[in-house]
Chain A
Amino acid sequence: MKNLLKAEFSRMFRSKLFWIFMVLSVIFCVYSIYDDANMPAEFRQSGQIYGYVFEAALYFYILVYIFAAAVLDSLFISREHSDGTIRNKIISGHPRASVYLTELIVCSVTGLIMFIVNLAIISLPFLKFGIHGMDGWVTMRRIILIAVLIIVSNALFVLFSMLIPSRASSVVWSIVFIIIMLVSSALIQDKLDNDSQSRTLRERGEYYEHSKILGNTERKVYKALNYILPANQVLHTYDIDDYLADYKDTSEIPQKKLNIYLTGLCLLDAVTFMLVTAAGITIFRKKDLK
């Protein structure tokens, strides 16, 4: 498997696809900083305001990255199907599980490298503005969650790409899947927000819409989905502490407890990752490679 990994990493870093996405990623980061440069002069000196831009840049990065990963993984892996390379690897003695895991490792590491480059570029303005006003714990939790989500999203797209031999179909299914996940996440969040607002209005004795209040079981199901689904976690990287604390007052919750909640979330993602990968390897083992 070491030889396989070396060969795949070499193929990835020599491919035009990787460098196109890397350049686009750098342009995206520079644009995020340029956005800040266009702020009125009286705000530009403040590290707090740049901190806000930094957090927003991280959030938009993961939103854009999941689409980029869908395309990159699909095009990178499906080429091996069309060229017959996967079949050649298996004929030369590599187990199917090793072939699958190699692709997964290469795509995940590529995603992490792109994220680190992005992080480095959007952190540069801190050399000028300093980091006073930034909450280091929140930023750290956000960065860890984004890194975990990069690995989980690659697991999902590698699953599609390994099982769908056609390059074009693989791209379509990956993008359609991520759109469906994001729309579902938005609908779930909408249900929970309406429920929360209606309950608050009911407690205050004000007018509320009865239809928007969820039953206890319904609420538990939606909340569970809100935490389990990676797309929901992506949408919540922005208000990560409120999300981890279930929208209770975070000033009363110690940092250690929030870190424990984050660990729980990462363990959920680890389970998702293992289930998706196990399913992918199982189906790939039985797939007929023509």
Chain B
Amino acid sequence: MIKLLRAEFARCFTGKLFWLVVLFNVVLASSFNVLTYATTKSEDFSNIFTDKTLYIGLISMGLTAAVFVAFYAGSEFEEETIRNKLIAGNTKAGIYICDLAVCSAALIIIQYLYFFIAYAFSYILFGALHHSFSVMMQLQLIGALGTIAVTAFMLMITMIVRSRTIAVTVCMIAAIVFFIACVAIINELEEHSMELLDAGPEIISAEKYAVLDKYSYVYGVGSDDLFGAELAVKEFFYDSLLQSQALRFSDERSLPYHWEFMVIYNIAITLVTTLIGAVTFRRLDLK
């Protein structure tokens, strides 16, 4: 498996795909700050805080992962490389884990590259940021776990579908749908917490009200419009979806409330999707 890993890393970093995605992210990372700089009057620079641009890389990671994983792993089916690897003595599980390791490593490199380029441009052009650097690095670490989770999900789809074209279509649509769902869920839960704040101690305990007041959200407290299983599912997506995590990172100055659950969900999603993907891939007949 070590030889396979070496070969896969070499294929990844010498191929056009990785460098094209890197280039796209470099352009994206620099463009928001450069555009803001170009369209802002010079006397107003000290009032500009571009912290939110630092997390756009994570917000767009769903699409990035969809394209990268579908092209990288999907191409192996069209070029029949997987069958050759099996003939050479590698196991299907080994091939799957290698692809996951390589795609995750590549996407984490892209994630951090985006962050450091956006940080450099923000700092050089505008100076101060709201977030401290140590907090940003902690958030990026949580984001890296989210990147692995997204990669595992996209790889599961690609390995089941076994066609680069269908994989890229399904994965990109999934990334867009997840993003729209994130925005809708965040808006709905914000309205829900406003309702709870207005209702006050009538429907929630003083302890939970204090949490709500401090963090602008409290988990597990239903209202007339949102309660029970529906609330639980939406809170799960609120914590587990990478785009939701990234949108919350950009709003907070410290680690977001419930960040431990984000870590747990990221690890759990990685394990579950890898298990499903690896088991399904093992049973597939590769003609």
- Residues on A facing B (Cβ under 8 Å): 67, 71, 75, 167-168, 171-172, 175-176, 179, 191, 209-211, 218
Contacts and interface: CB of A to CB of B under 8 A. Distances in A.
Interface residues on B, range: 10 to 19
Contacts of A175: 172, 176
A196 B48 CA distance: 20
Nearest to B41: A211
19 contacts: A71-B169, A71-B173, A75-B165, A75-B169, A167-B165, A168-B71, A168-B165, A168-B168, A171-B165, A172-B67, A172-B168, A172-B172, A175-B172, A176-B63, A179-B63, A209-B44, A210-B44, A211-B44, A218-B39
Interface in B142-198: 164-165, 168-169, 172-173, 176
Contacts of B165: 75, 167-168, 171
A186 B176 CA distance: 16
A210 B41 contact: yes
B134 interface: no
Nearest to B48: A211
Contacts of B41: 210-211
Contacts of A171: 165, 168-169, 172
Nearest to B176: A67
Nearest to B164: A168
A221 B130 CA distance: 32
- Which one of A168, A172, A211 has the greatest number of beta carbons of chain B within 10 Å? A168
A191 B169 CA distance: 33
A175 B171 CA distance: 12
Contacts of B47: 209, 211
Contacts of B44: 209-211
A168 B47 CA distance: 43
B132 interface: no
B205 interface: no
Interface centre among A75, A172, A176, A218 (most CB of B within 10 A): A172
B70 interface: yes
B243 to A, nearest CB: 13
A71 B71 CA distance: 16
